[in-house]
Amino acid sequence: MSRKLFKFKGGVHLSEHKAESNARPLHAAPLPGKLVIPLRQHIGNPAKPVVEVGERVLKGQMIGAADGYISAAVHASSSGIVTAIGPAAVPHISGLPDLCITIETDGRDEWIAHAPLDYQAMAAADLRMKLRDMGIAGLGGAVFPSAVKLDPGAAHSCPTLIINGGECEPWITCDDMLMRNRAGEILQGVAVMRHLLGSTEILVGIEDNKPEAIAAMQAAAQSLDFAVEVVAVPAIYPAGGAKQMIETLTGKQVPSGKLSTDIGIQVFNVGTAYALACAVHHGEPLISRLVTVTGHVLRPQNFEVLIGTPMHTLITLAGERDDSTGALMGGPMMGMPMPDLEVPVVKATNCILVKSNALFPPLPKALPCIRCTRCADVCPAELQPQELFRFAKTGDFGRAQEYHLFDCIECGCCSYVCPSHIPLVDFYRYAKSEIWAREKEKRAADLARERHEFREFRLAREKKEKAEKLAAKAQAARTQAGLDQAKRAELPAAPAPELATAPSDADAKKALIAAALARAQAKKAEVAPKNTDHLLPATQREIEEIEARRAKIHELARQPLESEEKKP
Amino acid sequence: MPSPFILDRSSVTQVMAWVLAALLPGVAAYVWLFGPGILVTLALATVTALAAEAAMLKARGYPAKPFLTDLSAIVTAWLLALSLPALAPWWLIVTGTLFAIVVAKHLYGGLGQNIFNPAMVGYAVLIVSFPVQMTQWSGPLALTETPLTLAQSATVIFGGDVPKTTLDAVTMATPLDALRTGLLQQLTVDEIMTQPIFSQFGGVGFEWLAAAFLLGGLLLWALRIISWQVPLAFLAGIWLAAGFLHFFDAGRFGAPWFHLFAPSVMLGAFFIATDPVSGATTPRGKLIFGFGAGLLTIIIRTWGGYPDGVAFAILLMNLSVPLIDQYTQPRVYGTSGRGKEPPA
């Protein structure tokens, strides 16, 4: 274990508060009477419901299908009856309800038929689709659909695979407990990742404050038929951030605005590897995860929890205490306050941190920035937070972007050290959302303008075509008249006048029919393919340009706004 | 309330309190070497600063408590007081302090908004407007036969009746003044340095006062209240500029040690140029800021109209901060270039 480690810039040393929750053994949380399963638990398109109210569902049954490439399915975490499909409270910073499927459980916990996947025999694309349909998404916090990340793309392989067991946020111990208890399964998941990504170097990064987890992972790595290097990394927040873990282990930085795969590195959380192992080796979709319940509770500990379990159930299990001041999902640095405690555990729920005024005193009032640049000293993105703050505060969003606002990972180090107690990250979130909103508005305006332009163009073209058609018709009529005249003039010159009458009748009829046919054909030719055929090259180019612009706008509108960063 | 939900224990009050604490060795040395008069000046400046701060906060509609307890006004008062002659009259101290707090700080928007270091603005106003009163330095005790007591000092400062002979016996030119006057009289540096006010490094007493400020400054650096870039670059600017001149004509330019061990340099390098609000923020910017201030100090001392140049040097560099910051933005994680993205 003499791997040369690198130091990322910045970071802060925090009180760990890990011992509170990792001393008690792991327990499975009991089956709740009601499961509320949001359809949007991952980054990308929300899943589409595929069950109906009143339908009986089995454990592991898909209830929401993945919608598109960047999406993931959701499943019933236990058997029961679907009682509602509609908006319900979800753990989201906005506090707004989102589409959820509510299941009244029947206590039988009856599995749907499922079988292990022979992943080595499957085509890679099929396996990825299968994983998407099994709802596998990143469990480190960002919940990005794993199937997408397991596609090495044009490079055909991703040489370095990093398994992130950093878990640098204070209080949270679910990854620690998972590694201690399920190291073998995690590495089985890693084997599947290695298979799909064609990785040759596999590193597991674990903060050195988790010696038991490191030992368990190292022991499990011994029995593998491929090399996995378990590396202890210095415990400093945010060492568990994907970019920071990459830099610590490889010395490389992910280029701004690019993905780690662009430098041949892919990072997965240990929990994701475990979920992958369950999916492949047992055919079980992602319906449960480990959740740390800690903070102001009597018995802080980790539970294996079914997705959809109300958070309050878990707090009760851990021993609710008086005078709590709400709960966070996640840790104190990046976690979000829960609007109420009836919200369900979702794939992103790594921790429920119950607050109290003693543990988390209300933050003091902010003073003005004195430009001390402590924030810049601790910023792992190597930004100048004091400048970003100034730009965000004054609404100078353009300059904020110039100063790389979007490279901010919102780790909270700057806010933590600020002697003026300014909620800096909040200002960055505000600036980001303002910029997104403006871009969205601009896109909508562009789209409207394009539509308007195209309509104007279409109207003008139709008018022109109508005029041309009329002219052509008039021309055709004139030509026909000319022909008829000529025909009539020719008729007397026919060989035998006595013979001519009978055939001439027939001929005239034939000519009339032919003329009518010709007219009809001409008309058809004029009308049907008018959108694309017989256009002037300039017009054609104009249309193509407009179409290209529209396509670009559509493309832009389709792109996910959120960066795919994994949270530390 | 959004994340994060925990804070480091630091606060503006804590930062300012450490700055004041780090000034204490200098204050103690001052009293020890020059007599207790400085305590009167410090007290008067402190009271004036707090009163001005409170009045301005009220006038601007800000709550008084959080801003009075942040101690920033007291830091300004002390820095100005330590820059003034120890026997300066009370109205000089009050005028300087008022100008620092009211004009340089609050009229620019209060804490965090001032472009210029308030103490240095106060000092500059005084030296430009009242150059004669700004020379009432009390000489080092080592050269004074009958030093003033605290009460006598207070009497002098508040314009009371003190026998002129007593006053003349204690006030004397600072080493920088003496050097300047001597050079104007066509004396060589070596000839000037034979005067009793000069000693090994700087002036008698003054060099030890400078050393005490240096000690306090190192404490601030050890506590990471200030970064190393500004003081080091400031001292390097002084050393190199003075050394360069001294090397070419030792008869006309003072030695670099002499320039370095003036109390104003140590106070300026560690306590004033490091003022975060009016200083550069980027690491390279801090180096440029400090070096420029040191260089300008020597230029002003040598060719300017005043014996010392620290205040003007720092104010001039304060002016340059937006430019310096803009062009010294450090590389951001994952980007190749420095600072801002090139214009597309």
- Contact list in A for residue B324 (CB cut-off 8 A) is none
Residue A319, domain member (yes or no): no
Residue A38, domain member (yes or no): no
Residue A210: give its domain's CATH number: 3.40.50.11540
Identify the domain boundary among A255, A284, A313: A284
Domain total in chain A: 2
Task: Give the pLDDT confidence score for residue A149 in this predicted structure.
Answer: 93
CB pair distance less than 8 Å for A368 and B110: yes
**Mean per-residue pLDDT pooled into runs of 10, chain B (344 residues):** 86 95 96 90 96 96 92 96 90 96 96 95 95 81 76 82 71 82 84 80 84 96 94 96 92 87 93 95 96 96 88 96 94 73 41
- Contact list in A for residue B2 (CB cut-off 8 A) is 93, 336-337, 423, 425-426, 429
Question: What ipTM did this prediction achieve?
Answer: 0.89
- Contact list in A for residue B334 (CB cut-off 8 A) is 243, 253-258, 381, 407
**Interface contact A140, partner B, CB < 8 A:** no
E-state strands within A350-401: 351-356
- Residues A425 and A555 both lie in one domain: yes
Identify the domain boundary among A238, A255, A284: A284
d(CA B258, CA B242): 9
Total CB pairs under 8 A between chain A and B: 137
Residue A267, domain member (yes or no): yes
What backbone torsions phi and psi does residue A290 show, to the nearest 5 degrees?
A: -85, 140
What backbone torsions phi and psi does residue A431 show, to the nearest 5 degrees?
A: -60, -40
Substitution target from A367, A383, A387, A394 for chain B, most B beta carbons within 10 A: A367
Residue linked to tokens 């180096």: B287
Q: Closest partner residue to B112 among A369, A376, A426, by Cβ? A: A369
d(CA A434, CA A333): 23
**Interface contact A420, partner B, CB < 8 A:** yes
Token code pair at residue A467: 């005029």
d(CA A343, CA A323): 20
Identify the domain boundary among A284, A300, A329: A284
- Residues A277 and A385 both lie in one domain: no
Q: Over its length of 568 residues, how does chain A's per-residue pLDDT go in tens digits?
A: 568 999 999 999 999 999 999 999 999 999 999 999 999 999 999 999 999 999 999 999 999 999 999 999 999 999 999 999 999 999 988 888 999 999 999 999 999 999 999 999 999 999 999 999 999 999 988 899 999 999 988 777 899 999 999 999 999 999 999 999 999 999 999 999 999 999 999 999 999 999 999 999 999 999 999 999 999 999 999 999 999 999 999 999 999 888 899 999 999 999 999 999 999 999 999 999 999 999 999 999 999 999 999 999 999 999 999 999 999 999 999 999 998 899 999 999 999 999 999 999 998 899 999 999 999 999 999 999 999 999 999 999 999 999 999 999 999 999 999 999 999 999 999 999 999 999 899 999 999 999 999 999 999 999 999 999 999 888 888 888 777 777 776 665 545 545 445 556 677 777 778 887 887 777 666 554 445 445 566 666 666 666 666 666 666 555 544 444 444 4
Mapping DSSP to helix (H, G, I), strand (E, B) and coil, where does residue A423 land? Answer: coil
Task: Give the pLDDT confidence score for residue B339 in this predicted structure.
Answer: 46
Residue A359, domain member (yes or no): no
Residue A536, domain member (yes or no): no
Q: Closest partner residue to A421 among B7, B110, B282, by Cβ? A: B7
d(CA B237, CA B220): 20
E-state strands within A108-207: 160-165, 201-207
Mapping DSSP to helix (H, G, I), strand (E, B) and coil, where does residue B148 land? Answer: coil
Token code pair at residue B234: 């400031």
**Alpha helix ranges (H) inside B204-255:** 206-222, 229-248
CB pair distance less than 8 Å for B4 and A421: no
Q: Chain B: nearest CA to A115, how far in angstroms? A: 42
Tell me the pLDDT tens digit for each residue of A234-293.
999 999 999 999 999 999 999 988 889 999 999 999 999 999 999 999 999 999 999 999
CB pair distance less than 8 Å for B12 and A420: yes
d(CA B275, CA A192): 56
Task: Give the pLDDT confidence score for residue A520 in this predicted structure.
Answer: 75
- Contact list in A for residue B69 (CB cut-off 8 A) is none
Q: Chain A: nearest CA to B90, how far in angstroms? A: 30
- Residues A416 and A559 both lie in one domain: yes
Chain A residues 429-488 with a CB less than 8 Å from chain B? 429
* CA pseudo-torsion sign B310, B312, B315, B319: negative
- Residues A147 and A238 both lie in one domain: yes
d(CA A140, CA B318): 46
Rounded alpha-carbon distances, angstroms, from residue A51 to A74, A88, A111, A231, A398: 11, 17, 16, 45, 46
Residue linked to tokens 């620092």: B100
Nearest CA in chain B to A329: B3
CB pair distance less than 8 Å for A367 and B12: yes
Residue A121 lies in domain: 117-284
Neighbouring-strand partners of residue A233: A207
Residue A299, domain member (yes or no): no
Sheet holding A98-105, edge to edge: A34-38, A98-105, A80-88, A56-57
Looking at residue A110, the DSSP 8-state letter turns out to be P
Residue A53, domain member (yes or no): no
Q: Chain B: nearest CA to A253, how far in angstroms? A: 5
Residue A55, domain member (yes or no): no
CB pair distance less than 8 Å for B330 and A429: no
CB pair distance less than 8 Å for A364 and B8: no
> Between the CA atoms of A320, A323, A326 and A330, what dihedral angle is there, to the nearest 10 degrees?
-60
- Residues A243 and A392 both lie in one domain: no
Mapping DSSP to helix (H, G, I), strand (E, B) and coil, where does residue A431 land? Answer: helix
Q: Closest partner residue to B281 among A332, A360, A384, by Cβ? A: A384
Rounded alpha-carbon distances, angstroms, from residue A282 to A70, A135, A177, A320, A542: 24, 14, 21, 35, 56
